[in-house]
Amino acid sequence: MKPISARKSLVFGTTAVLCLLSIFLINPFLSEVQAQCFTTVDEPAVNYIVLVIDKSGSMGGQAMTDAKIGAKTFISEMASQDYAMVVEFNDRVRVTQGFTNDRDRLHSAIDGLDVSGGTALYDAMAKSISILSRQSSSKIIVFLTDGRDGSSLYTAQNINSMSVSEGIFVYGIGLGDVDTQVLHDMTNSTNGNCEITKRSSELADIYSRVLSGYYKRFGRKKTDSGGITVKSIPSGETVKLDGQNMGRTPVKLDNIDPGEHQVAVEFNRGVGRCKIPVEIGKRTIVDLRESDLGRDVVITSSSPANASVFMDGEYVGICESHGPITMGDNWKNEALAWPQLTIKNVPLGTHTILLRGIPDFDYGSDQEMTIELKLNNMDDDTVIIHARIIQKIIQSNARICRNVSKGGDPFGDMEGW
């Protein structure tokens, strides 16, 4: 705990007064820099699609034959300007064919798949997301699996967070004994969907429905709408768009009308808000953090006693008057134990606090002091201001709470006052 102090000499009528101000912060670094809460990225009508195909041992025989037919049907029905990539996985992940719109090369890559090994679906998804993250386009993953993941380093929760944060549509096809809930969670959070079947003969129709469903809902609307992705730290917080509940972070929103919109994320400490533009063919990515919310400012004591307190010109209350805080390691707890004025959730940035004494104060009718307070997201949740006006001049070279080490006594330089 390190105090930051300032002092100045004021003259009220004929009385010279020294103002002593100590602002105690958990973190000693101050900055006025605050990052913008959103960025925008192009999301043109060209689609980049990754086909993630399970080639584990259980996919042998007719299952793999039908899977190849389904995947090649998907490729054949893609729009001519769209690109695709093939990623195969068992207990290892391999990019079989990089992005191309050459249908023959894609068909050849699919025909070359053979079966063996276990299932590392999540790692295959992570690899695909990593590659798609470098694309400035509409991004889609279509995965096929017939089992439960038992080989991945990544988790389903990792994949959900990554795909939403990167603005990727995820569609899934489950064949046979799969974890239905996990697969639905992986797709629904991205505005995709998942189909489950027991019969591999249905795979061609499912692949075709996935592609036509995407084109109908999203693929051909890039020329008249935009998208929004909302992330937060911590995650799992309620998101509202223009006052309407949209789910919990991270959340991906599509087909949003162009124009200005208000995004709100409800944290335990308060609501983070971000006013954003939505543009046609672009995605707006909102990143809000609970640590960027305002701080509670506590004024523990003051001279003048019972002063009126104004922040940025607006009245916020009366500062309580009480005895001095004793020196020692427990000074913060002592300060907070007294009745005090607390200004809740003050926005980050620079603020002016004015303490103005009542007219019948013993020291005169014009007692006041002004404090410039800088708050940033490196400060603790609570900032304590201990403000006093002392009716005597002390030497100009007096040390006032300067260079106090963490955990030390911030009043150690005031002994004898």
DSSP 338: S
DSSP 105: H
Residue 161 has pLDDT above 50, yes or no: yes
pTM of this prediction exceeds 0.85? no
Lowest mean pLDDT among 114-123, 322-331, 368-377: 322-331
Residue 261 has pLDDT above 80, yes or no: yes
- For residue 7, the model assigns a pLDDT of 31
Residue 233 has pLDDT above 80, yes or no: yes
Average pLDDT of the residues in 276-305: 81
Lowest mean pLDDT among 13-27, 110-124, 287-301: 13-27
Predicted confidence band of residue 410 (pLDDT cuts 50, 70, 90): very low
Helix (H, G, I), strand (E, B) or coil at 214: helix
- For residue 5, the model assigns a pLDDT of 30
DSSP 257: P
- Greatest CA separation found in the chain? 100
Domain boundaries, the chain: 2-32+293-414, 44-219, 223-290
- For residue 391, the model assigns a pLDDT of 38
For 195-230, write each residue's pLDDT tens digit: 999 999 999 999 999 999 999 888 666 678 899 999
For 92-128, write each residue's pLDDT tens digit: 999 999 999 999 999 999 999 999 999 999 999 999 9
CATH class of 223-290: mainly beta
Closest CA to 166 of 137, 133, 125: 133
- For residue 4, the model assigns a pLDDT of 30
Query: Contact at 8 Å (CB) between 249 and 215?
Result: no
Residue 406 has pLDDT above 50, yes or no: no
- For residue 218, the model assigns a pLDDT of 84
User: Which neighbouring-strand residues pair with 226?
Assistant: 256
In the numeric block, which tokens belong to residue 172? 């899934």
Instruction: Kindly state which CATH superfamily the domain 44-219 is placed in.
Output: von Willebrand factor, type A domain (3.40.50.410)
Residue 296 buriedness (CB in 10 A; 0-12 / 13-18 / 19+): middle
In the numeric block, which tokens belong to residue 12? 């009220």
- For residue 368, the model assigns a pLDDT of 72
Predicted confidence band of residue 395 (pLDDT cuts 50, 70, 90): very low
Lowest mean pLDDT among 283-297, 350-364, 397-411: 397-411
Encode burial over 186-217: b for 16+ CB neighbours within 10 A, e otherwise. bbebbbbbbbeeeebebbbebbeebbeebbee
